[in-house]
Amino acid sequence: MRKQVHKRDNSRCQVRLSDNSRCGEIAIDVDHIRAGDDHRLINLRCICDWHHNKKSAAEGAQAYNAAIRKSKAKFRRTEQHPGLL
């Protein structure tokens, strides 16, 4: 599968830049366009190291923030703060 993606994408990074052109850097890794278990060719693309690192960092931060939100949502004060009495 990796080989097929590299062949299709010519081993060039397929990430779109802000001007909608492709990055075009030499790509070592294959990336899931949408994270998850979709391993079809249509959901895979070549990605350069730089974009891969950037994406991984963003996904890590997202997961971290989601975990923080979740832990905050779980905490509910059931009693009034003693300072308010």
User: Given the rule CB under 5 A, which residues bind Zn ion?
Assistant: 13, 15, 23, 25, 48, 51
> From the CB of 71, what's the least distance to Zn ion, in Å?
34
> Measured from the CB atom, is 28 or 66 closer to Zn ion?
28
Sign of CA dihedral 29, 30, 31, 37: negative
> Measured from the CB atom, is 45 or 51 closer to Zn ion?
51
φ, ψ of residue 40 in degrees (nearest 5): -75, 155
> From the CB of 83, what's the least distance to Zn ion, in Å?
53
> Measured from the CB atom, is 23 or 43 closer to Zn ion?
23
> From the CB of 25, what's the least distance to Zn ion, in Å?
5
Retrieve residue 2's tokens. Answer: 């990796």
Q: How far is CA 76 from CA 15, 42, 80, 85, in A?
A: 42, 44, 11, 19
